[in-house]
Amino acid sequence: MRKTVYAGAALTMLAALVFAAPAQASDRHDDGDDDALLSVLHGVPGLTVDVWVNGKLTLDDFAPGTLAGPLKLDDGSYKIAITAADATSAENPVIGPVEVKLKEGRNYTAVAHLDASGAPTATLFKNNTSASPKGQGKLTVRHVAAAPAVDILAGGTPVIKGLENPGQKVLTLNAGTVSASVAAAGTTEPLIGPADVPVTKGKNTIVYAWGSLADNNLGVAVQVVDSAKWRGDSDDD
């Protein structure tokens, strides 16, 4: 029962964050498109739901570890309802409905996840879409797992130290492939990985560590976000 209540609370916060995100944002994506870009990561283990927007099924059987979006939305008011999985309509939501107003030109990811102590929570992240220097891309690491502070290792060497939940760190690197792993802060024994992570020119590759260390269900989710084009880049580079 306690787990169900916690999960419901986390998804309630997720709904509020997803649909309030553009009103709080200060960053705009730079592709000339003024729609709001919204992505959602479900990082609370053990609960599958359906998500309805304005009475339409938008996310069906939304399972832990799933990344949805980006949704491209005009500014205006939207109504969200969260129901049990496989509901036939939004008429009997377990959460909501919540009506909020969106503003245009924002790029965010809302994450439902566990905090460091294992309680469900939600965090709204700004996705960095600024241009990288020629031939480089961005690698963003986000700690949204029920685990203590971690170090991020590239080729066995710490490149990010002491990252805490729900923190993030953005690196600008030469395009290529990085062998990355996650270890407890001050150690080098991988808790996750190692895994090859691509760093792509003109992209922001976002890696999420989610789940629970105590429950032995740590996982990784990856999101790729377009960045603004650096003025020195050309399509043929």
Q: What is the pLDDT of residues 126-145, one digit of tens each?
A: 889 899 999 999 999 999 99
Query: Is 217 or 1 the better-scoring residue by pLDDT?
Result: 217
Q: Give the pLDDT of residue 224.
A: 95
Among 178, 192, 113, 109, residue whose Cα is nearest residue 150: 192
Q: Are residues 93 and 176 in the same domain?
A: no
Q: Are residues 110 and 191 in the same domain?
A: no
Q: Are residues 36 and 104 in the same domain?
A: yes
Q: Are residues 16 and 58 in the same domain?
A: yes
**CATH number reported for the structural domain that contains residue 33 in this entry:** 2.60.40
Residue length, the chain? 237
Q: 105, 126, 147 — which closes off a domain?
A: 126
Q: In this predicted model, what pLDDT tens digit does every residue of 144-163 receive, in sequence order?
A: 999 999 999 998 899 999 99
- 8 A C-beta contact, residue 111 and residue 208: yes
How far the first Cα of the chain sits from its last, in Å, is: 56
Give the domain range for residue 158: 136-226
Q: Are residues 41 and 145 in the same domain?
A: no
Q: Are residues 214 and 98 in the same domain?
A: no
Q: Are residues 160 and 213 in the same domain?
A: yes
Query: Is 96 or 108 the better-scoring residue by pLDDT?
Result: 108
Q: Are residues 16 and 119 in the same domain?
A: yes
Query: Is 139 or 37 the better-scoring residue by pLDDT?
Result: 139
pLDDT band at 190 (very low <50, low <70, confident <90, very high): very high
Q: Are residues 197 and 121 in the same domain?
A: no
Q: Are residues 122 and 59 in the same domain?
A: yes
Strand partners, 164: none
Tell me: pLDDT of 1 over 90. Answer: no
Q: Are residues 25 and 96 in the same domain?
A: yes
Domains in the chain: how many in total? 2
Q: 103, 126, 149 — which closes off a domain?
A: 126
Q: Are residues 157 and 83 in the same domain?
A: no
If one counts every other C-beta atom within 10 angstroms of the C-beta of residue 16, the result is 18
Asked if residue 93 has a cis previous peptide bond (ω within 30° of 0), the answer is no
Residue 27, exposed/middle/buried by CB under 10 A (0-12, 13-18, 19+)? Answer: middle
